[in-house]
Structure 1
Amino acid sequence: MKKNILLKGLLFTSIGMMLVLFASCKRYVDPPLYFEEPGDTTKPAARKVLLIAIDGAVAGEYKKMGLPVLQNMLSKSKYTWEGVSDEVSTDAATWKTLMSGVSYSRHKIKDSSFIYTQSINDPQHTSVPNYPSIFSYILSSPRNDMRTTVISPWRTMVEKLVPEVLDPVVAADDVAVKDSALRRIKSGNPDFMVLHFNSVAIAGKAGAFLADNTMYKDAAVKVDAYIGELLTALKARPGYDKTEEWLVIVTSTHGGVGNSYGGPSSAEVNAFSVFYHEKFKQLEFVRSGFSGVAMKGTGSSVIRARIPDDGGLYNPGLAQQTISFKMKSPTKTQYPHFFSKMDKFASTTGWSLFTNSSGIWCISVIGSGESRIQGTTPVVFDDKWHTVTFKFMDSASKRWLVRYTDDRRIDHTDITARGTVTSTSPLTMGWATDQGMGAVTVSFADCMIFNTALSDAEVAALQCAKDITQHPRYANLIGYWPCGDGFGGRFLNKAPGATNKDFVLQGAFTWDNYAEVPCSITPFQPVAGKAALFLKSVDVTVTSLYWLRMNILPVWGLEGSKWLEQYEQEFVKL
């Protein structure tokens, strides 16, 4: 009973306190109901790609012809006439590059068998690399419901290169390619369509890959008209530029020289690319600046460049020789070797350049014994471009090693006792000679070898030479690697008469654009309507996937860049 009385007392007390509190609170009028306006609930427009690839379309010749449809596209395009396809310009190599986003230096597909080509420099018993087509990545992604189409007159390519495509079509010829595409554009719902035209290449092989060749020009004009029909049909789609955002890409897979193609000449690898979208502002990309490869790493992770066999051409022996190159390195570290023609420091003959923790450059010369030259030089490991030159010369009945940094002579050392300096080891940029030491990150440019000893004035003339053909000792130039090729797997040798003497790149290298360029290169000067960008076929691949809102995974190893991101303010609705 007492417990019930106590509970009732507590209950009445609590109620009383609540009444007091309620009475003491200030009363407010209830606010009106507020409904927040919803944001933009419009479904994003569907991104779609029409990629038109033309075999044998030499960019320079196409620019001369001024084809009407292509010209009219430019006002709403990002485009270039100065791009490249790949270092090997066969049909199989260039289509593999375009469809995989990986260059020939890695995929090694050269002929229509589409089988990996083993290089004599490849390690034995290594597994054959596999670089699938981009349609394989689409199938394994959340976008695997994408409607993909490839239409081509080349059956082998369709069956062997792109087996993952949803809608593969082998057409009789270019007219049939166009007609098949039109049917799908008018009555279907394609997301990613690749069209292959080859009549331009056929005409080039029958005559010449020149605008002055009537057959070649006629074929180009016809394909241009086909592109016009395709654009007209595309723009007639009810959702065009409303619920559908189309990126139309027109590109050449390779060029041609004379009546053939397949090699690395500029006419054969020269390619144009046009990226058309209704909201794009016109912009032409020109090749400018410097695109190089940084040497770095050791052991199995090394990135370096070597000439597999120079036939003894680049051995100084007992002759006079001058070696010069530009270098840029941010690293100061203890005794890594970075440029050499020596198998093993310091027990085999040859020469090798190295540095120390102070950032100077030193050289070891070994013949009959060693001359290790470590006198102080200006610092060159300071993340700036410098010119390093050394020469083997005879004077006053003695043999000398003379060193220069930039345009300044540093010292000269008597190496007469060394006798013949020769080595069968490959000329190497990067880590190789002293494997007990670490590596240094270093980039090269304008590497040259002369079969004579240049004078001090002639060495100074190399410093910022923009046209090496005007150098007074050009006739003595036996090796010249600008190292700014920007694509492929080699530093090409541009010396007169030099064949099979390219530096071959090794390791997981990448071509990078340098903000600071060597003084031999004129920096890009901003011009209205133009920007500096060096586009390659691998960029076409990555741009297609970027436009389709694909998540491009690093593990795929695609080499192209998502350059279009920097222009998103033109076409992305905020």
Structure 2
Amino acid sequence: MKKLINIVIVGVVGLLIISLHYSCTTYEAPDGIAEDGFDSDSVISTTIHRKVLWINIDGAVGSIVEKKMPQDGTIAKMLKHSKYSWVGLSDNRTLQKEGSEDPVTWATMMTGVNPEKHQITDESYVANMEYDPSNPNEKVIQYPTILHHIADNDSENPTLCVTPWDKLNKNLLNAAQKTVTTANDEETKNVILEHLKNSDFNFTLLSFSGMLEAGKSGGFSANNANYITALQHIDAYIGEFLQAIDERKNAFYEDWLVVVTSNHGGKEDGSYGGNSPEERNTFGIFYYPHYTEQRMLGKKMYGAYFDSSKAQGIVLDTVSTNIKYAIGENSSFSVEFIMRMNPRKDGSYKGDNWNAIFSKSGSWGIFRQRETASLRIEGSTGALEEAVAAFNDPQWHNYGFSVAPMNNAQSREWIVALDGKIMKKGTKDVRGVADNKSPLRICDHVPTSFYVSEIRLWKKALTENELTQQAALLDISSNDAHFKDLLAYWKLNPDEVKDASKQDTLVIKNQIADGLDLLYVNLDKQNSGTFKEKAFVELPNTFPTYVSTGNLIMENTLVVPQVLYWLNMSTNTILDGFKFINNYASSEEWRDLPEDE
């Protein structure tokens, strides 16, 4: 059952509700904004002004734009001064209604939080969530858009939105100080040019829909002449925008970040809004005239979806004569568990108390405790319990631990690592339970769903150096020198499904020849027909050690953090996207200003 209940605007207090009126269609700005415009008699300000122009091209497939953009055109020239990625992944979702404005991706782009969090599915742009009838005080959280963030920071900060989407403008972009609904791309271009020449907005968002309309009628394909023609027109329009920026009277004292994105792609048959690679293939360009070129070579990775009520994993390590994955006092044993958490209904990533993420009951496990991941190893002399803060965001993480055998001093060394960083280590008299017959389980009564990419069990105690070096390593080859030390290795992706003959169970192959396979079990019988199709999801590789190199995949959540950074606003902790252009801040220091400035 779904119900729209009290809406709480998170982090936005006391926003001015502006009366809006149509012209073409235009939501008029307050008088104070109009006065911010400048004319031929304007006085040049020598204060540095940071501004953002965000250009979204609805329905532009990233790989097609890369190959078919005019080679001597604007976008191609922008790349020389951009941080960009042609390998984008739009939201993993299905449109509620084909042919709509695509409220899911727009909501993600404008809020900087994932669809699982904002829960917007239709053109009301209001969170649509299941609620608990036993909790009459439960409230649906409506996350603030970038426009709310800007207005909350400074209500006089002028913002402009120009799109062809009437409901988007009315229902999601209504915090802009001026909003215009246009009929086509040419009208959008003309409105933007007029304001670039004669107004002084600090944040401008616009949306071109020509490629989307051409794709819907003739296919999102390089062979669709109208689709490519629309791209060529948009490329030329962007050139006019950059020229208008260069010709502004305050041009030397203005720093413009120009962002070019696509919210989703599409298929050759003209459809879009699904989860195919073509429909999710987007791109992102962050252009600043003083950047050096960097193509962000991000990578994708698969994850299997786990939810205590929908999908769980089990390894039947129950044969007493051949228990493989218990920890005894003479065991050398290590675990690497690679996962990405989804949010709870309240938007947080925390758990309850002793929720078993990955465990062998009565022997050992990785447990969720509030905002920590806790290692617990049982033993006759007592248990080892160590908690570290982990999995409190929607990024990929590698949680690892290792334990050495008991030594002559009747203690054993242990290490806990997160993303290759050694979090804790020590020694303890914990003997383990070598004859434990319980199965290994994934997602046993965990209140948050999550994705798992790989699970590696080692028949050795990994050293600090090994835990660090292997943190972002995926797809270990049998030719790798360390492969011989693996006790079990499950890669949770469609290529490793050994048996899919049963309707609600997939058998995932253990990469170790004599190892036990992992059973991935569907618990949601209403999902039986699509379980195998939706079991695995392609997601961006966001290991911290990988992202820190600047190799990213474009995600819809990434624009808001960059805009907040550029406009000198703090990055709100509710965001799922993360900032990265701050790593190139040295490029912003190019002016040789007089000492008195």
> In structure 2, what is the equivalent of residue 234 of structure 1?
245
Q: Which residue of 2 aligns with 1:532?
A: 551
CA distance in 1, matches of 2:234, 2:103: 21
| 1:326 positional shift | 3.9
Structure 1 counterpart SS, 2:259: strand
Q: Give the residue type in structure 1 aligned to 2:113.
A: V
Q: Which residue of 2 aligns with 1:75?
A: 80
Distance change (3 Å), C-alpha of 1:461 and 1:59? farther
| Residue-by-residue CA offset, 1:321-368 (whole Å, 9 max, x unaligned) | 999984279xxxx998442599xx9xxxxxxx96344589xxxxxxxx
Q: Which residue of 2 aligns with 1:60?
A: 63
Counterpart position of 2:417: 383
Q: 1:543 aligns with which of 526, 543, 562?
A: 562
Cα-to-partner distance string for 1:391-442 (whole Å, 9 max, x where unaligned): xxxxxxxxxxxxxxxxxxx999696xx9xx89xxx9516857xxxxxx9xx9
Q: Secondary structure at the match of 1:551?
A: coil
Change over 3 Å in CA distance of 1:275–1:135 after alignment to 2: same
1:267-278 residue pairs with structure 2 within 5 A? Answer: 267-278=278-289
Q: Tell me the CA shift for residue 379 of structure 1.
A: 7.7
Cα distance between partner residues in 2 of 1:375 and 1:553: 42
The structure 2 residue matched to 1:446, chosen from 431, 442, 454, is 454
Residue 178 (structure 1) shift:
0.6
Preserved contact between residue 200 and residue 219 of structure 1 (Cα < 8 Å): yes
Q: Structure 2: how far apart are the matches of 1:175 and 1:328?
A: 48
Mapped partners of 2:178, 2:580: distance in 1: 29
SS in 2 for 1:383: strand
The CA distance in 1 between the partners of 2:583 and 2:547, in whole Å, is 18
Aligned equivalents of 1:193, 1:563: Cα separation in 2: 21
Residue type of the alignment partner of 2:262: S
Quick one: which amino acid aligns to residue 428 of structure 1? Answer: C
Residues 268 and 290 (structure 1), Cα distance of their counterparts in 2 relative to 1, 3 Å cut: closer
| Alignment equivalent of 1:217, drawn from 228, 231, 234 | 228
- Displacement of 1:121 after TM fit? 9.3
Q: TM-score, structure 2 length as denominator? A: 0.58
Shift of residue 270, structure 1, vs aligned partner = 2.2
Residue 242 of structure 2 aligns to a residue in which SS? helix
Structure 2 equivalent of residue 134 of structure 1? 146
Question: How far apart, CA to CA, are the structure 2 residues paired with 1:122 and 1:248?
Answer: 46
Q: Following the alignment from structure 2 to structure 1, what is the Cα–Cα distance between the partners of residues 119 and 177?
A: 26
Residue 513 (1) aligns with residue 543 (2): yes
Shift, 1:560, TM fit: 2.1
Alpha-carbon shift at residue 284 of structure 1 (Å):
1.2
The corresponding residue for 1:47 is 50
Residues 282/158 of structure 1: CA separation in 2 closer, same or farther (3 Å cut):
same
CA distance in 2, matches of 1:291, 1:498: 14
Partner of 1:478: 506
- Partners of 1:459 and 1:412 lie apart in 2 by 22
Amino acid of the residue matched to residue 87 of structure 1? N
Distance of aligned partners of 1:150 and 1:559 in 2 relative to their CA distance in 1, 3 Å threshold = same
In the alignment, structure 1 residue 191 sits paired with structure 2 residue 210: no
Give the whole-Å Cα distance in 1 for the aligned partners of 2:124 and 2:255: 37
Q: Secondary structure of the equivalent of 1:56?
A: coil
TM-score (normalizing by structure 1):
0.60
The letter for the 2-side match of 1:132 is P
Distance 1:147 1:56, change over 3 A: same
Contact 2:74 2:236 in 1 (8 A): yes
Change (3 A) 1:210 1:318: farther
Structure-1 residue corresponding to 2:211: 200
How far 1:245 moved relative to its partner?
1.1
Distance 1:358 1:318 in 2: 23
Distance 1:467 1:338, change over 3 A: closer
What is the one-letter code of the residue matched to 2:506? I
Q: Secondary structure at the match of 1:50?
A: strand
Within 1, Cα distance between the matches of 2:176 and 2:158?
Answer: 9
| Residue pair 2:499, 2:508 contacting (<8 A) in 1 also | no
Aligned residues: 419
Deviation for aligned residue 1:113? 2.5
Equivalent residue, structure 1, for 2:523: none
Change beyond 3 A, Cα 1:385–1:170: closer
Q: 1:252 aligns with which of 249, 262, 273?
A: 262
The superposition leaves residues 216-274 of structure 1 with CA deviations (integer Å, 9 ceiling, x where unpaired) of 2222222212212222222221222x111111111111112342222233322222111
Are the aligned partners of 1:255 and 1:261 in contact in 2 as well (CA < 8 Å)?
yes
Unaligned runs of 5+ in 2: 1-44, 96-101, 326-333, 340-352, 365-374, 387-402, 407-411, 421-431, 457-477, 510-526, 592-597
SS at 1:559's partner residue? coil
Letter in 2 for 1:249: V
Change (3 A) 1:472 1:194: closer
Is the partner of 1:532 in helix, strand or coil? coil
Structure 1 residues 167 and 60: CA distance shift in structure 2, 3 A? same
| Whole-Å separation in 2 of the counterparts to 1:478 and 1:428 | 16
Q: Which residue number corresponds to residue 586 of structure 2?
A: 569
Amino acid at match of 1:513: F
Give the root-mean-square deviation of aligned CA atoms.
5.1
Kindly report which structure 2 residues correspond to 1:398-477, keeping only aligned pairs within 5 A, or say none: 427-428=442-443, 445-447=453-455, 473=498
User: 1:180 Cα shift?
Assistant: 0.6
Query: Compared with structure 1, are the counterparts of its residues 573 and 463 closer, same or farther at alpha carbon in structure 2 (3 Å cutoff)?
Result: farther
- Please say which structure displays the higher CA radius of gyration: 1
**Residues 414 and 359 of structure 1, relative CA distance in 2, 3 Å threshold:** closer
Q: Deviations over 1:3-34 (max 9, x none)?
A: xxxxxxxxxxxxxxxxxxxxxxxxxxxxxxxx
1:264 and 1:473 map into 2 onto residues whose CA distance is: 23
Kindly tell me: are residues 132 and 463 of structure 1, through their superposed partners in 2, closer, same or farther at Cα, counting changes over 3 Å?
same
**Partner SS for 1:144:** coil
Matched with 1:364 is none
Structure 1 counterpart of 2:295: 284
- Cα gap change, 1:121 to 1:535, in 2 (>3 Å): farther
> Are the equivalent residues in 2 in contact too, given 1:447–1:480 (CA < 8 A)?
no
Shift of 1:139: 1.9
Tell me how far 1:140 sits from its aligned partner: 2.1
Matched residue, 2:6: none
The alpha carbon displacement at 1:212 in A equals 2.2
Distance 1:309 1:117 in 2: 20
Question: Per the alignment, do residues 480 and 534 of structure 1 end up closer, same or farther by CA in structure 2, a change over 3 Å counting?
Answer: farther
> Quick one: distance in 1 between partners of 2:195 and 2:203?
11
Is residue 328–residue 382 contact of structure 1 (8 Å, CA) maintained in 2?
no
More moved, 110-119 vs 159-168: 110-119
Map residues 85-104 of structure 1 onto 2, 5 A cutoff.
Answer: 85-88=90-93, 90=95, 91-104=102-115
CA deviations over 1:463-488 (Å, ceiling 9, x no partner) = 6798977769477892669xxxxxxx
What is the DSSP-based 3-state SS (H/G/I as helix, E as strand, rest coil) of the residue aligned with 2:265?
coil
Query: For the structure 1 residues 411 and 273, does the alpha-carbon distance in structure 2 shift closer, same or farther, using more than 3 Å as the test?
Result: same
Q: Percent sequence identity over matched residues? A: 26
Residues 463 and 45 (structure 1), Cα distance of their counterparts in 2 relative to 1, 3 Å cut:
farther
Q: Match of 1:266, as an amino acid?
A: P
DSSP-derived class of the 1:280 partner: coil
Q: Which residue is equivalent to 1:11?
A: none
Distance in 2 separating the partners of 1:542 and 1:318: 48
What is the identity, as a one-letter code, of the residue corresponding to 1:445? S
Q: How far has the Cα of 1:131 moved from its partner?
A: 0.8
